[in-house]
Amino acid sequence: MLSFYLLLTGVGLILLLQTWRFFRKYFKNKTILKKIRGPPETPIFGHMYIFTQDPDLLFSRIRKYSREYYPIFRFSALYVDIVNFLEPNDIELILSTTKHLSKSKIYTFLNNWLGTGLLTSTGAKWHQRRKILTPAFHFNILQQFLNIFNDETEKLVLRLGEDCGRTIDVVPPVTNFTLQSIAETAMGLSNINELTQKEYKKAIYKIGHIFLKRLSKPWYRLDAIYNYSKLAEEENATVKILHDFSNGIISEREKERTTNLSQNLASYSKKKRMAMLDLLLAAKNEGADIDYEGIREEVDTFMFEGHDTTSMAISFILLTLANLQDVQTKVREEILSVVGKEKIPTYNDLQELKYTERCIKETLRLFPSVPFISRYASEDFVTKTGYTIPEGTVLHIHIFDLHRNAEIYPDPLKFDPDRFLPEKVNERHPFAYIPFSAGPRNCIGQKFAFLELKTVLCGILRKFKLEKVDDMYEIEFRPDLVLRPKNDVKVRIEKL
């Protein structure tokens, strides 16, 4: 009995010591971070009111704080401290190193869906997955993908042709295009059932809403509370739809791969580079540290990132060109000059579309598909703006505000593709433009995205004239996993 009480006392002392250490570090860090300006805060709850108000206003509210407290500002909510970065020198300190690679707590809200794939993993697992997947975006693979991009572009053009003379929301047909394109290229799946595709897209939108709801209610950060909520039930049902979709893709591709291997088809020769899903299946069969669940993590990650970010990028490019007829004319003239009116564009043709590429980059400056990223500080560091950031602080990097910074981009709302002339780029800080993030954890698929974007512009602008309906500067955004408009992205389609 005495030994039991001694054990109980020992455990109690250890817990007391751990609690004391936690609060000592917490108050020390709080004192350090108080030097960074931020919105007015309440006792104990800090800035929690910002996140618990109408979530639809969160996007515009953050933009307001970014203007008021540039170049750095702070949020605090109970035990969480967040520092928001807007200045490229400070952003470089975070992204250019391998020290702060870990994503912050908010990404764990996606773990039920994405697991710990390339987007959310860290440490050895992230390095291993990146190593496996990097060959999937090799130059030779991208050249093979171009045939698929051209075929899917032709289908999109036919679909848009049905709406000539009408005003349409470009997001639905463009999303169909990007979803089918990523399925065929990275997954090797030639056709997705239309009903299944529709259910998947609805589930993607729904999971974004669930993510935002959880983010706006601090008590839902605690799994012990969240797991028994109605919202968690809704999430589990939505995730099942998403997982059924990805498991179906894996199963279908593995059957095809097994058949082709048994027939010794050349497309599965080890000398030929393989697409992403084939690489993952091959790695598993060759004994790499990845199982079916790990493969599904990456399929979920790339199906989402490979279609949703790209569909919004294309939609905003079409909106921009509809607003700026002179720019649209120049892009069309370059395409006709380099590619011609009927020729199917080659990889080399697309590399010669220099003005078109600058227009894409300028659109991604104004409308970055991923408007912010978040990391943990893995150690104490001092910013270029002179503030100490303690280990464990959440680091938010606001790409949207960085790209619209008047100190970096004079007259920032003006659409000016010449900002991306080589001499202009060389004058800017290398971390002043990061639509695909930057540093060791940059987006693995950025060359894939540019190839797809150029291909679809070739197809659309050789057939149609885009006319303005919505003003590109009056589009309102809502918080989501990607930069998403509150309403439709409307354009009028006219045949040339």
What are the DSSP E strand ranges found in 147-269?
A: 167-169
Please state the φ and ψ torsions of residue 376, each to the nearest 5 degrees.
-105, 145
Q: What is the total count of domains within the chain?
A: 1
pLDDT score for 6 = 67
Interatomic CA distance for residues 375 and 397, integer angstroms: 8
Would residue 18 count as lying in a domain?
A: no
Angstrom CA distances, 242 to 191, 199, 296, 474, stand at: 17, 9, 10, 33
- Cβ burial, residue 255 (10 Å; 0-12/13-18/19+): exposed
Would residue 16 count as lying in a domain?
A: no
Take residue 488 and report the two structure tokens written for it. Answer: 């439709």
pLDDT score for 23 = 57
* Residue positions counted in the chain: 496
Q: 371-388: buried (b, 16+ CB within 10 Å) or exposed (e) per residue?
A: bbbbbbbeeebebeeebe
- What stretches in the chain show pLDDT beneath 70? 1-8, 11, 17-27, 260-274
pLDDT score for 262 = 61
Would residue 134 count as lying in a domain?
A: yes
Q: Which residues are annotated as a binding site?
A: 443
Take residue 458 and report the two structure tokens written for it. Answer: 């070739």
168 and 175 Cβ atoms separated by less than 8 Å:
no
pLDDT score for 270 = 46
Q: Which residues are annotated as a binding site for heme?
A: 443
Would residue 13 count as lying in a domain?
A: no
pLDDT score for 89 = 97
Residue owning tokens 């997954």: 187
| Identity at 48, one-letter amino acid code | M
Take residue 426 and report the two structure tokens written for it. Answer: 């060389």
What percentage of residues in the chain have a pLDDT greater than 70?
92
Would residue 359 count as lying in a domain?
A: yes
Q: Considering just the CA atoms, what is the radius of gyration of the chain in Å?
A: 24
Would residue 53 count as lying in a domain?
A: yes
Interatomic CA distance for residues 84 and 91, integer angstroms: 10
CATH, residue 317: 1.10.630.10
- Cβ burial, residue 41 (10 Å; 0-12/13-18/19+): middle
Would residue 22 count as lying in a domain?
A: no
pTM: 0.91
pLDDT score for 271 = 43
Domain, as residue range, for 149: 28-261+271-432+442-495
